[in-house]
Structure 1
Amino acid sequence: MFIAPMLLQDAKDNRPYNSKHHIAEVKLDGLRCIVSHMDKLYVYTQDGQSVTHKFPELFDCPLPEGTILDGELIMMDDQGRPDFEAMSARFLSPTDRTPVIFVAFDILRHKGIDITGLPLLKRKELLDQAFVENGHYRKIKIHEGKAVDYFETIRERGLEGIVLKSKKDHFKYESNKRSRQWQKVINWTYADVYISGYRKHNFALLASIDSANGAKLPAGVIETGLTPLQQNLFDGVRQRLVLKEDQHFVYMEPLLMARIKTRNWTKNGKLRSPVFMEFVRA
Structure 2
Amino acid sequence: MTFLRAIPFSFNILWRLALVFPFMIIALIMVGILAGFLVLLTAAVSPLLAVVIMGFFGVGASVLPTMVGTRLGLRARGASVRSSAFGLALPAIGYGLFEALCALLIMALGVAAYLFATSLTLEDFTQLTQMDEDVVIQQLMSVSPAITLSIFWVGGVLILGLRAALLMPLAGASIAADPSGRPHTPFYGFASEFLSLLPLVFLSYLLWGLAVPLAVAICYLLGFGDAVIAAANQIEMTGGNEALGLLGVETGVFIGIVVLVYLWAFSLQCAGGRWFI
TM-score class normalised by the smaller sequence: under 0.3
TM-score (norm 1): 0.22
Bigger RCO (CA 8 Å, 6+ sep): 2
TM-score (norm 2): 0.23
Which is richer in helix?
Answer: 2
